Amino acid sequence: MTIQIASFKETKELAKKVARKLKCKYSEIIVKDFPDEESYIKLKKSPKGKTLVIFNSFAREQNDRLIESILAAGIGKDYKAKKVILAAPYFPYLRQDTHFEKFDSFSIKHIKNILDNFDSILTVDPHLQRIKNIKKISHKMKRLTATSAIADYLKKNFKSDFTIVGPDEESKQWAQGVATPLGKKAIVLKKKRFSWHKVKIQDVSLGKNVVIIDDIIGTGHTILETIKIAKKHGAKKITVIGIHGVLVDEKMTKKITKQAKLITTNTIDNKFAKIDVSPTISQALRKA
């Protein structure tokens, strides 16, 4: 199988790492706008006869990124790629996995239908809640996980004992997924959400050295409330590890970093991305 990697700029550093691991060709996808702001997409290399892997992330301007990806997949099909794969380290609309209110959108159900030109879609730790198996969303989708990479990072860099904490029930799968290979049990807290910007976290002692694990750090309110609980009970060292550093609120991010060490994986490029998921993606592509 000959793999050719083409990446949009948001994922170029991660895509380059994967290309080096797979010893395959890499190029950045050309993106321009017409005067009326329609997108113009172009590949730099012919995908004919190859497995074309298109890298794109959806942490920002998700709707534009989706259109770009659709067009890039179409180019692959038009120019006779043997297979077209979307490597989306962070994938959007997964939290909208049911109708929450009357007449609102069951978004992921319909978003996946516009990605038909992809033969498969790889994504890292999708934010699944009510739908537990990603194959129920689409048989083309494959779930990868960064939990082993995070566990390895902790094993190499944390020599003293520590407590792994999940800030809410949704985080349990990731907190426990990191804890298990380290021979630990995760403490998973209970959370009540009042709005996007107001949450209340269960008040319990978490220990002196606390590592908070969550899949998405968005506004940061859940993390800050968890830090507050840890400090209230005498925590001396607090580390926050997020798989996807969406980090939509700069002020809230600064509040986190004033009280804890913040680390993310590189599914989304940011200055806190210390944990590399390229080995996980490379391994999946070797089997694709």
pLDDT at 136: 83
Listed range (51-65, 68-82, 93-107, 257-271) with the worst mean pLDDT: 93-107
Do the two domains 3-145+276-286 and 147-266 of this chain adopt the same fold?
yes
Parse the chain into domains and list their residue ranges. 3-145+276-286, 147-266
**Candidate CATH numbers 3.40.50.720, 3.40.50.2020, 3.40.640.10, 3.30.70.980; the one for domain 147-266:** 3.40.50.2020
72, exposed or middle or buried, with CB in 10 Å at 0-12, 13-18, 19+? Answer: buried
Say whether pLDDT at 215 is over 80: yes
Token pair for 132: 């537990």
Say whether pLDDT at 196 is over 70: no
Please state which CATH number belongs to domain 3-145+276-286.
3.40.50.2020
Please tell me the distance from the alpha carbon of residue 126 to that of residue 134, in angstroms, as a whole number. 8
User: Residue for token digits 């792994």?
Assistant: 164
Listed range (25-29, 126-130, 135-139, 232-236) with the worst mean pLDDT: 126-130
Q: Using the Cα atoms of residue 109, residue 137, residue 130 and residue 204 in order, give the sign of their dihedral.
A: negative
56, exposed or middle or buried, with CB in 10 Å at 0-12, 13-18, 19+? Answer: buried
Listed range (20-29, 197-206, 215-224, 257-266) with the worst mean pLDDT: 197-206
Helices then strands (H, E): number in the chain? 8, 16
| Tens digits of residue pLDDT in 23-66 | 999 999 999 999 999 999 999 999 999 999 999 999 999 999 99
pLDDT at 194: 54
Say whether pLDDT at 76 is over 60: yes
pLDDT-derived band at 151, boundaries 50, 70, 90: very high
DSSP strand pairing (120-124 vs 141-144): parallel
Q: How far is CA 162 from the centre of its chain?
A: 25
Q: How far is CA 205 from the centre of its chain?
A: 29
